Amino acid sequence: MAEATDVFIAGTGPVGAAYARIILQTNPALRVTMADVGSQDGPVIGVHHKNSIKYQKDIDQFVNVIKGAIQPISIPPQDTLISNLGGQGWRPPEGEALIFHGSNPNQQPLLNLKGSGITRAVGGMGTHWTCNCPVPHENERRQLESVIPGDVLTGLLGEAGTLLNINDDQFDKSVRQIVVKKSLESFGDRVQKMALAVKRRTDNPDYVTWTGPDTILGDVVGNPNFKLLTEHLVVKVVISEGDPGMISGVSLRDLTKKENSERLVTAKAVILCCGAIPTPQILFNSGIRPDPLGRYLSEQSLTFCQVVLRQANIDAIPRGPPWGEFEPVGDAILKHIEDYQGDPLPIPFTDPDPQLMMTYSPERPWHVQIHHDAFSYGEIGPRADSRVVVDIRCFGPQEIQRDNRVTFPPQDLFRQWVPGIQDIYGMPQPTFEVRRSKSDHDNDQKMMAEMTQIADLLGSYLPGSYPQFMEPGLALHITGTTRIGTSANESVADANSKVHGFKNLWVGGNGCIPDATACNPTRTSVAIAIKGARAVLQYLRQ
């Protein structure tokens, strides 16, 4: 007899957690089952790993956590070539490509999002994300507001802010934040405090609690009707034989068992929110292949550099009254000077990192982050005192094009061509076909120019972290692959994130966003999910 649940949620990241929270908070009697292909890394479901004290003491070490968490999506044959291998080492015959998990002979390198990746763990990327949650500019949500009215969307974004525990004042007592803001006075009001999903701890204000899926789930994990399945792959959704518009459940594979250990879990409502690539991958593998699936893919360009703060900017920090702008941190500066008389820097070792941004504007259509955080790149190592290093990251939107997409060749046909071309979990291999337009390139160049202008005001480039364009896909902000909309010809799901043509199948995540955004998309995705969760509840009441 098949297992049964009321609501099945595939994916345990921030969006999946939002669905579970809204549904169970509204109706605690519903049975909700969540599944994730990854394992649970600790006793708390989906906790943000950056909450660990050791990483807050040394944020640069968190780079290795992110690197270890993200798995690449599509590796073209050229990337598997070992050109300096000794002559006795095995290599594929000339003209043949390597075929192993993750390698994709059909991937054209120039069309690839080489930097893109997937985090397969309970909590997903919510276990290591930056928690940056700005409200998108009106130009970044025009398509979305044609689906969800502006006043409704504004309310949903506010609710998402509450659910994610977003604040912009938790780093106000940062010496470096004051230094950076003062150094960028020429940019005026464009320099703003970053809206972050974070809260400073009350037991020890030197540290903060970053929002993870555990924060979003809240106390629903204590509900006996909530069930979490770890290391379970959702292979496909199962369409009802008697009603092609109904999903009867999902086919699950327990990865801890032998292969082909699939089982059916029946559900009244199914929600797929596994990420902008795995979600359309599951739909494709289920035989649900509308033409917009995987299309309209938009990913942000990314520029990056690190600077060591200018000597004059450090010298401008007062060592005593009058404090001026440094009044909020005056006591901390004095105490550090008294406690560490041999330290040439008047910046406390526990000084919070700067967290500032410049948001999108029609004149400057990109998003700038001026802070110090950990990504899968930009590690300082022992070369510089972290207290004087600032990161500058700029994110540029991509023009929406129907033919920018991720495809999933049918496995049965693939086996006739090249046996075994699947991803590492035996699912249809994603292949990217993404091109940036001329206007994208022009905008990217202007964005780079402003980043260097900001850097020049702040200080000198850290050797090895000079201004550079990062690998396509490294922003990890893919949108559009399961976009919501009013027309089945141009979207995968409706305004409530319900898949067109189905009564009880929903999608969630950044892939639902129909716009090309420059800002971080999580807040918008959670806002869309809140609306979707209420549609699920309404459906179940019927």
Catalytic (active-site) positions: 477, 520
Q: Which residues in 194-231 belong to E strands, given as ranges? A: 196-200, 208-210, 226-229
The CA-atom distances, in angstroms, between 419 and each of 68, 307, 407, 427, 541 are 29, 49, 18, 13, 47
Q: Is 23 exposed, middle or buried (0-12, 13-18, 19+ CB in 10 A)?
A: buried
Spatial separation of the C-alpha atoms in residues 285 and 31, rounded to whole Å: 26
* DSSP annotation string for 278-346: HHHHHHHHTT---TTTT-S-B--EEEEEEEEEPHHHHHTS-SSS--GGGGGGHHHHHHHHHH-TT-S--
> How many Å apart are CA 204 and CA 437, to the nearest integer?
49
The C-alpha atoms of residue 105 and residue 98 are separated, in whole angstroms, by: 8
Helix ranges, 49-124 (H) = 53-57, 62-69
Closest to 305 (Cα-Cα) out of 223, 375, 241: 375
Instruction: At 11, list the tokens.
Output: 């994916």
